[in-house]
Amino acid sequence: MRIETLQVGENFVYVLAVAGRAAVVDPGVADPVSAYLEEAGLTLELILLTHYHGDHTGGVVALRRASHDVVGPAGGSIELDRTVVHGDSIDFAGHPIRALAVPGHTTHDTAYYLPEAKALFTGDLLFACGCGRMFERDSHQMWGSLCRLRNLPDDTCVYGGHDYTLENLAFAAHLEPDNVAIRERLKQFRADPAGTMPSTIGEEKRTNPFLRCDSEAVAAAAGRRGGTPVEVFAAIRGMKDRW
Ligand SMILES: [Fe+2]
């Protein structure tokens, strides 16, 4: 399986390709996706949605055809061919894709995990070195969802929904100035700003403060030494919102 990243402004759209067949994740726009599919000689079979914000779904109406499926969680106004819940498996060209419920950014956020390809599509729940804002759920649920993703194998490739990497890295370095892995990641980013995605679960565990709320360093930076991970998460999410 080949995974292509299409960047449109700060949005990422991902195209999965197997032997001329394609699936697309969160097509916020249609034209760049159509152009890529045509150029690559791919036939679209499946559209996967992580949640229902317009910048992830804006291209669905133009892209959808009777011959393929639009799959996503409940909670949106887009007509789905299949509604997924946590633990569901979707087949794409013989490859299983597991739906993982990760509420936090919205009520129905869903991540898609491909164990064979070691790939994880996280929508607006998890970004490179950051996480989404909590629009519909609370810190308790968001932290639980981040832990669900953190428990996947370290070599799982993480494909997030947006490129907020520079500001995320700056915030992470502000919280943990002594974290060598964050300094190294910042250096790599400056050398290759286009190489943001994918990262890996292992890299996020070392550098993403929102996956490190049970570390002493992040708790201290949040002014919550001895606090629970949820309290630490709430504190740094609030700090980031005002950053
Ligand atoms: Fe969103």
pLDDT per residue rounded down to tens, the chain (243 residues): 999 999 999 999 999 999 999 999 999 999 999 999 999 999 999 999 999 999 999 999 999 987 789 999 999 999 999 999 999 999 999 999 999 999 999 999 999 999 999 999 999 999 999 999 999 999 999 999 999 999 999 999 999 999 999 999 999 999 999 999 999 999 999 998 887 889 999 999 999 999 999 999 999 999 999 999 999 999 999 999 998
Residue-level pLDDT at 144: 98
Residue-level pLDDT at 202: 98
Domain of residue 7 covers 2-241
The catalytically annotated residue of 55, 69, 88, 214 is 55
CA of 53 from ligand 1 middle (Å) equals: 5
CA of 81 from ligand 1 middle (Å) equals: 21
User: Which residues have C-beta under 5 Å from ligand 1, the single-atom ion?
Assistant: 53, 124
The catalytically annotated residue of 56, 68, 108, 109 is 56
CA of 186 from ligand 1 middle (Å) equals: 25
Told to judge if 105 belongs to the known catalytic residues of this protein, a careful annotator would answer yes
The catalytically annotated residue of 68, 108, 109, 124 is 124
Told to judge if 86 belongs to the known catalytic residues of this protein, a careful annotator would answer no
Distance in angstroms (rounded) separating the CA atoms of residues 118 and 152? 9
**What's the structural domain count of the chain?**
1
Distance in angstroms (rounded) separating the CA atoms of residues 55 and 51? 10
Nearest to 95 by CA among 229, 189, 204, 2: 2
The catalytically annotated residue of 26, 105, 108, 109 is 105
Mapping DSSP to helix (H, G, I), strand (E, B) and coil, where does residue 219 land? helix
Sheet with 89-92: list strands edge to edge.
89-92, 95-101, 110-114, 119-123, 157-160, 199-200
Distance in angstroms (rounded) separating the CA atoms of residues 111 and 232? 24
CATH number at 118 reads 3.60.15.10
Distance in angstroms (rounded) separating the CA atoms of residues 60 and 26? 8
Distance in angstroms (rounded) separating the CA atoms of residues 80 and 48? 10
Residue 167: other Cβ atoms inside 10 A? 13
Distance in angstroms (rounded) separating the CA atoms of residues 2 and 14? 10
Residue-level pLDDT at 82: 97
Residue-level pLDDT at 106: 96
Told to judge if 140 belongs to the known catalytic residues of this protein, a careful annotator would answer no
Do the bridges between strand 119-123 and strand 157-160 make them parallel or antiparallel, or are there none, so unpaired?
parallel
Told to judge if 56 belongs to the known catalytic residues of this protein, a careful annotator would answer yes
Told to judge if 124 belongs to the known catalytic residues of this protein, a careful annotator would answer yes
Which phi and psi angles does 13 have, rounded to 5°? Answer: -120, 135
Report residue 203 as tokens. 């890299």
Query: For 97-120, how does the pLDDT look when each residue is reduced to its tens digit (9 = 90+)?
Result: 999 999 999 999 999 999 999 999
Nearest to 44 by CA among 13, 23, 25: 23
Mapping DSSP to helix (H, G, I), strand (E, B) and coil, where does residue 144 land? helix
